[in-house]
Amino acid sequence: MAAAVLEPASSEDWEQPLLNGDGDERSKDVMETLQHYKSRWRSIRIMYLTMFFSSVGFSIVIMSIWPYLQQIDKTADPSFLGWIIASYSIGQMIASPFFGTWSNCRPRREPLVVSTGISIAANFLYAYVHLPPSHNKYYMLAARALVGFGAGNVAVVRSYIAGATSLTERTNAMANTSACQAVGFILGPVFQTLFSLIGEKGISWKAIYLQLNMYTAPVLFGSLLGIINIVLIIAVFREHHVDDLGRPQNSINTETEENNEVVQDNQRYIDHVAVVSTNFLFFVILFIFAVFETIATPLTMDMYAWTRKKAVVINGLILGAVGIESVVVFLSVKELSKRHKE
């Protein structure tokens, strides 16, 4: 439970802890300062933005992968498209425990910056997969796998938000995180639709061998968002940890016997069935979504004789509508959780 946010009378009050007790500095009821509270929520909002940018980077190209693949490599078939789509998830699956372990041992800023840098490099590789004289489809496979590896920072984002919020703040914060992810899914296809106005031919920048068209412009835009994200993480993001009551952990003597008992009690009462069930539900949701992102574009092109450009535009609008529906659900869950148990 966060302390009430009141404007202090003087600058000195910013450095004074908010107390529930009689003013004893060693009291276990020490709460966070207003300055700490603002810094903590500023960092949480940076994590919201990181989740949003990661979702945009994923969804901004999924409707155009198949037509782009057909353009750069005539030997590619729909089966190989499935591998390209799967490579993102495989990369994220491998990277998530890696970055999670890294964030447990080192400041979270490190894995966040490195993972975002990997995504930026992978997007540039995706923009240049047309250059090699052969085996272009394998370069695209590698690019999407690296983008997925960079997206492993989602685990770091969620763990940070869980550790930087009190018990009463956590549900809302997690709902906001999911909403930012859903908004990213919405705007990604919308950006893709807008970039389709450039056309398949686009503009050639011969000095750097770059073809700026409806397929490469989205990933370059994603790289720009990644660079902005890195700057914000380095300049604004700060590490914060609070307990379930919202007290900064560095103000609590965690080495005392009483606190050790609290930790053991919390671990003893973890509902493992609920944890496994929610993970399985999340798996089912992503499994269904993977069907759409894999076959929607080639299926509509075959069934309705759509051109590559038309398929990208219309499927992008469909996915955007699905994303809007997701945001409505997330906001509803946020409100319902205030009245009912999860």
Q: Which residues contact 232 (CB under 8 A, 6 or more apart)?
A: 46, 49
CA-closest candidate to residue 148, choices 127, 132, 126, 177: 126
Instruction: Tell me what pLDDT residue 176 has.
Output: 86
pTM for the model: 0.73
- Residues 278/171, Cβ–Cβ less than 8 Å: no
| Cα–Cα distance for residue pair 213/129, rounded to 1 Å | 13
Which contacts of 176-182 are long-range, i.e. CB under 8 A and separated by 24 or more positions? 176/48, 176/334, 177/47, 177/48, 177/51, 178/330, 179/327, 179/330, 179/331, 179/334, 180/48, 180/49, 180/51, 180/52, 180/55, 181/51, 181/52, 181/54, 181/55, 182/55, 182/323, 182/326, 182/327, 182/330
- pLDDT tens digits, the chain, 342 residues: what are they? 444 443 444 444 434 444 344 444 434 445 668 888 888 899 999 999 999 998 888 888 888 888 899 889 888 888 898 899 889 889 988 998 899 889 888 888 899 999 999 999 999 999 999 999 889 999 999 999 999 999 888 889 988 898 888 888 887 888 888 888 878 877 888 888 888 888 888 888 888 888 889 899 999 999 999 999 999 999 999 888 887 766 777 543 443 344 444 445 555 667 888 889 988 988 888 787 777 767 788 888 888 988 888 888 888 788 778 777 877 887 787 788 778 776
CA-closest candidate to residue 149, choices 229, 228, 220, 89: 89
Instruction: Tell me what pLDDT residue 17 has.
Output: 42
Q: Which residues contact 58 (CB under 8 A, 6 or more apart)?
A: 88, 147, 151, 184, 185, 188
CATH fold of 34-249+296-340, please? Answer: Growth Hormone; Chain: A; (1.20.1250)
CA-closest candidate to residue 174, choices 18, 47, 309: 47
| Cα–Cα distance for residue pair 164/46, rounded to 1 Å | 12
Instruction: Tell me what pLDDT residue 268 has.
Output: 60
Domain ranges of the chain: 34-249+296-340
Instruction: Tell me what pLDDT residue 278 has.
Output: 85
Per the DSSP assignment, residues forming a β-bridge with 19 are 30
| Cα–Cα distance for residue pair 121/256, rounded to 1 Å | 46
